[in-house]
């Protein structure tokens, strides 16, 4: 019709015809066609495959090119697009895309590495590639070969510089000037050192005819040393090569000081300390010494054991887990850092000491992250001393400064600093006038908003709810760097370099470091999630906006030239990649799902309501696409704690949903969808959810938009629990759907968290159940908040589902409620998916679940025929 319209229009104008007949023909015939051309379509299930998801991946150094990935129903593609022209490169299932200079490099599943000269538009291909690494001026690839793996070095123009055959392992130095290569030549294993500037000249730095291949070639940060190993069940070796002195040092596991029950772990990376004096590595009990358990063995569950049986057999008292060790090549000294008594630990900061701990210190207990004593191990003396007693909280509550001078930790609502050299503890946040604790009903002041790092001048950076603070290491002179509290904006630092990135090794964090003489990149979010964006905090100049819009803004990237790229989306705007400069205009470079504008779509209304405590809450109300104000519509209410943060999320319609729920599927089928925020009271979570949800639905009813008798309820996981509980207390809903739900708080409490191998106590006391106490301290709370106890009250037809391999919420919980409803003669169907977990992963199962849920709603809320499932 579109082509016809333009054809008729052009013919009439070209002829310059003024006859009344033709004029009337134009008015009568072409106007309806105009309406047909502009009229939007209704999305149907057959249209769903049109939609895809998009992620931005990188921006080129000059800021002119963007790489991004589109995910389709059954595949994905990597794209590279010029921001100002129509030039576009695509690579089906491309991976490891990298901009280097004016080139882009990636690999496709057919073992081809694509090298694209973005300046000249020339693409070169390297074939039979197993893996590749890109440096500034060259590419190193390992290639499949009939005579063993080949290592080849190419220029970015695809010119071959060098090839080595029979390659086992390789590693490029941090300064990209050298390549260390492990090769196997007939009966000899060698490590070669290649100098890129004179690549045909190679040096053999290690050679062995008896031991296995050389593995795990690892450079020091300054590129002046390299460590590697070989592995043998009888005797393994560590090697350290000093490039400046051309000296090779060796350590054998047959050395007197090395524990005879241990051996090296060939799969674990080696690390060289920043002063190049120590090599860190992992060792493990020899396999022949491991306790072998048979399936027929009697399981011994001793209530006094530190761990329950499923967790105990994984580590066997920490005899089986890897241990950290150290070797000093110059002195030959060996030191085992962790053991079965202190099984966890790492060498954070400058690797001059280690922090170690045992998570079993205070077992048995009921937390998921147990309290623990933290020890500091001095490498010079080999001695350990207690640094923190009964430290509370997870990994983000204990961080070591990058220069290893300070260890920051959170305790009872405040940040403290341990001075490593002085061995002293100092409270540093007492002069910050705002709370630093994340609110929690069950964990009193146990988690802070964060300690993102230290400055290069030794000042500690802290977060409160809104802002970033700079505090001296003795707690003096706190300075607020941002003014988010007054504006209702939450500011957080976005890492732009390796130094600005927190790293974690064996559960110990090394903190980030920031130079405040340079600009800090900050994320910005309105406290109600309405506006989002990014700012630069410049020294002496304050805040400068990059972007701050009433949309979702994520994934910021920066070019060497100072261009920024980020991703924007909104409820009715598919994801787009936007590029702009600080203080300048921004432009959209890539738009996903451009067909979106051809279809009717939902719109969002924010609703406000209050629970019985008078607490103001928000809800997201999605309208049916193509909404007609003269009609009343059915509504589906989706539950899961607070959901208003999703107010800008664009949702693709699809049948492959891990929980069977999709907002766009429902709105395009003529449903209102409501996502209410829910808040809770300790020991009263079920009734808290009931109050909030009923209040939200009551507010929607006032708008005269919905058919009051056609409201459905749905939730998954904790939302499934809320759904099951609410229908035992309310007759507001015409039908309900609950997935992977806890229905019996007592039996859930007395079960094993299968994904962790620990008692489920923590989930009920400290988790979403918010009981805070055991059932033996308050049985009433557990029973009154259990849907199964109130099953006799259910009048709402219920569809439940569970994955029979769910390790997070036992399938038994769904079956308990099923048995109760069956015995009571209630309307209920339970779908049990074999080989599925907490969410549905297999495509066919996800389609089946989504289909059945929508059929359930269509029957009870739209009056369609009852589905017949077998």
Per-residue confidence at 315, pLDDT binned at 50, 70, 90? Answer: confident
**pLDDT of 705 above 70:** yes
| 666 and 776 co-located in one domain | yes
* pLDDT of res. 771: 95
Please report whether residue 684 resides in a domain. yes
* pLDDT of res. 445: 62
Please compute the mean of the pLDDT values over residues 164-179 and round it to a whole number: 92
CATH number at residue 682: 3.40.50.1820
Please report whether residue 182 resides in a domain. no
Pairing verdict, β 735-739 and 798-803: parallel
| 546 and 609 co-located in one domain | no
Report the DSSP beta bridge partners of residue 619. Answer: 607, 676
Q: What is the spatial distance between Cα 634 and Cα 671, in angstroms, rounded to a whole number?
A: 5
**pLDDT of 30 above 50:** no
| 545 and 608 co-located in one domain | no
Residues 457-481 have pLDDT tens digits of 999 999 999 999 999 999 999 999 9
Ranges 7-16, 24-33, 275-284, 455-464: which has the least confidence: 7-16
Instruction: Please indicate, yes or no, whether the overall pTM of this predicted structure exceeds 0.75.
Output: yes
**pLDDT of 26 above 50:** no
Please compute the mean of the pLDDT values over residues 249-258 and round it to a whole number: 96
The domain boundary residue, chosen from 550, 574, 594: 550
| 407 and 538 co-located in one domain | yes
**pLDDT of 813 above 80:** yes
The domain boundary residue, chosen from 516, 535, 550: 550
Q: What is the spatial distance between Cα 241 and Cα 244, in angstroms, rounded to a whole number?
A: 9
| 523 and 668 co-located in one domain | no
**pLDDT of 93 above 90:** yes
Which run of H or of E encompasses 690? helix 685-701
Say if CB 553 and CB 534 are below 8 A apart: yes
Please report whether residue 223 resides in a domain. no
Say if CB 163 and CB 139 are below 8 A apart: no
Q: Read off the tokens for 748.
A: 């859930």
| Rg (the chain; Cα; Å) | 32
Residues 655-670 have pLDDT tens digits of 999 999 999 999 999 9
The number of folded domains in the chain is 3
Residues 55-74 have pLDDT tens digits of 999 999 999 999 999 999 88
Q: What is the spatial distance between Cα 199 and Cα 78, in angstroms, rounded to a whole number?
A: 33
Phi, psi angle pair for 246, to nearest 5°: 50, 50
- Which residues, 6 or more positions from 842, have their beta carbon under 8 angstroms from its beta carbon? 835, 836
Segments of 633-749 assigned E as strands: 633-639, 672-676, 706-716, 735-739
- Domain extent for 16: 2-38
Report the DSSP beta bridge partners of residue 89. Answer: 80
Please report whether residue 801 resides in a domain. yes
Per-residue confidence at 146, pLDDT binned at 50, 70, 90? Answer: confident
Which run of H or of E encompasses 21? helix 20-25
Say if CB 654 and CB 48 are below 8 A apart: yes
Q: What is the spatial distance between Cα 222 and Cα 274, in angstroms, rounded to a whole number?
A: 8
| 620 and 706 co-located in one domain | yes
Task: Tell which wins on pLDDT, 87 or 135.
Answer: 87
What is the 8-class DSSP label of residue 684? -
CA atoms lying within 13 Å on the CB side of residue 680: 22
DSSP string computed for 311-329: HHHHHTTTTSS-EEEEEET
Please report whether residue 668 resides in a domain. yes
| 634 and 543 co-located in one domain | no
Please report whether residue 459 resides in a domain. yes
């Amino acid at each position: 019709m579109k082509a016809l319209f333009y054809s008729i229009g052009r013919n009439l104008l070209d002829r310059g015809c003024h006859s009344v007949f033709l004029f009337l023909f134009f008015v009568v015939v072409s106007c309806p066609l105009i309406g047909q051309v502009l009229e939007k379509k209704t999305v149907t299930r057959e249209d769903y495959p049109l939609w895809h998801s998009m992620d931005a991946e990188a921006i080129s150094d000059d800021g002119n090119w963007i790489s991004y990935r589109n995910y389709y129903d059954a595949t994905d593609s990597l794209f590279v697009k010029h921001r100002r022209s129509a030039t576009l490169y695509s690579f089906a299932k491309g991976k490891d895309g990298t901009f280097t200079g004016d080139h882009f490099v990636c690999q496709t599943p057919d073992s081809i590495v694509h090298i694209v000269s973005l300046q000249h538009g020339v693409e070169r291909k390297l074939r039979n590639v197993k893996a590749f690494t890109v440096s500034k001026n060259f590419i190193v690839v390992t290639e499949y070969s009939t005579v063993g793996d080949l290592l080849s070095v190419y220029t970015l123009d695809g010119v071959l510089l060098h090839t080595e055959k029979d390659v086992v392992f390789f590693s490029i130095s941090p300064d990209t000037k050298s390549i260390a290569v492990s090769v196997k030549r007939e009966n000899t294993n060698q490590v070669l050192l290649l100098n890129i500037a004179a690549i045909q000249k190679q040096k053999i730095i290690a050679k062995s005819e008896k031991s296995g291949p050389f593995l795990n070639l690892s450079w020091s940060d300054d590129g002046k040393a390299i460590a590697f190993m070989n592995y043998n069940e009888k005797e393994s070796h560590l090697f350290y090569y000093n490039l400046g002195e051309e000296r090779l040092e060796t350590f054998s596991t047959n050395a007197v000081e090395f524990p005879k029950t241990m051996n090296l772990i060939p799969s674990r990376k080696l690390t060289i300390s920043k002063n190049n004096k120590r090599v860190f590595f992992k060792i493990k009990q020899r396999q022949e010494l491991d306790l072998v358990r048979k399936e027929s063995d009697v399981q011994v569950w001793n209530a006094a054991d530190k761990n329950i049986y499923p967790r105990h057999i994984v580590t066997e008292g920490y005899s089986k887990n890897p241990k950290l060790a150290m070797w000093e090549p110059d002195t030959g000294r060996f030191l085992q850092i962790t053991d079965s008594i202190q099984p966890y630990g790492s060498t954070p900061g400058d690797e001059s000491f280690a922090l170690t701990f045992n998570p079993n210190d205070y077992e048995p207990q009921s937390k998921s992250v147990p309290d623990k004593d933290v020890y500091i191990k001095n490498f010079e003396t080999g001695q350990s001393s207690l640094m923190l007693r009964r430290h509370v909280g997870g990994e983000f509550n204990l961080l070591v400064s990058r220069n290893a001078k300070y260890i920051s930790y959170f305790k009872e609502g405040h940040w403290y600093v341990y001075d490593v050299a002085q061995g002293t503890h100092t409270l540093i946040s007492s002069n910050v006038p705002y709370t630093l604790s994340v609110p929690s009903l069950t964990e009193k002041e146990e988690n802070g908003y964060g300690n993102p790092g230290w400055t290069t001048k030794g000042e500690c950076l802290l977060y409160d709810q809104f802002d970033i603070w700079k505090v001296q290491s003795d707690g003096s002179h706190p300075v607020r760097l941002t003014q988010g509290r007054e504006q209702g904006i939450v500011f957080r630092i976005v890492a732009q370099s390796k130094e600005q990135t927190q790293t974690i090794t064996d559960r110990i964090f090394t903190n980030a470091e920031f130079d405040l003489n340079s600009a800090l990149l900050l994320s910005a979010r309105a406290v109600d999630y309405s506006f989002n964006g990014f700012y630069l905090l410049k020294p002496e100049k304050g805040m400068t906006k990059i972007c701050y819009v009433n949309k979702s803004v994520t994934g910021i990237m920066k070019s060497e030239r100072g261009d920024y790229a980020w991703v924007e989306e909104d409820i009715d705007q598919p994801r787009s990649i936007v590029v702009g400069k600080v203080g300048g205009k921004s432009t959209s470079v890539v738009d996903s799902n451009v067909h979106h504008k051809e279809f009717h779509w939902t719109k969002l209304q924010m609703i406000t309501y209050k629970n019985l405590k008078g607490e103001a809450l928000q809800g997201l109300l999605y309208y049916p696409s193509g909404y007609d104000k003269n009609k009343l519509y059915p509504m589906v209410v989706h539950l899961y704690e607070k959901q208003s943060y999703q107010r800008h999320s664009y949702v693709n319609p699809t049948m492959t949903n891990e929980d069977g729920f999709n907002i766009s599927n429902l709105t395009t089928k003529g449903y209102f969808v409501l996502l209410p925020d829910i808040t809770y009271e300790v020991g009263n979570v079920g009734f808290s959810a009931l109050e909030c949800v009923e209040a939200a639905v009551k507010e929607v009813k006032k708008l005269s938009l919905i058919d009051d008798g056609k409201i459905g309820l749905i939730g998954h996981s904790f939302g499934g629990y809320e759904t099951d509980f609410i229908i035992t207390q309310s007759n507001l809903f015409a039908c309900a759907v609950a997935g992977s739900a806890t229905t019996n708080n007592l039996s859930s409490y007395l079960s094993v968290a299968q994904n962790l191998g620990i008692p489920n106590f923590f989930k009920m006391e400290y988790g979403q159940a918010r009981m805070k106490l055991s059932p033996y301290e308050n049985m009433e709370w557990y029973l009154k908040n259990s849907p199964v106890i109130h099953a006799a009250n259910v009048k709402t037809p219920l569809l439940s589902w569970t994955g029979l391999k769910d390790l997070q919420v036992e399938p038994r919980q769904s079956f308990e409620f099923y048995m109760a409803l069956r015995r009571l003669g209630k309307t209920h169907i339970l779908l049990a998916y074999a080989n599925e977990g907490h969410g549905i992963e297999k495509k066919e199962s996800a389609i089946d679940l989504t289909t059945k849920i929508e059929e359930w709603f269509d029957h009870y809320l739209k009056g369609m025929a009852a589905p017949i499932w077998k």
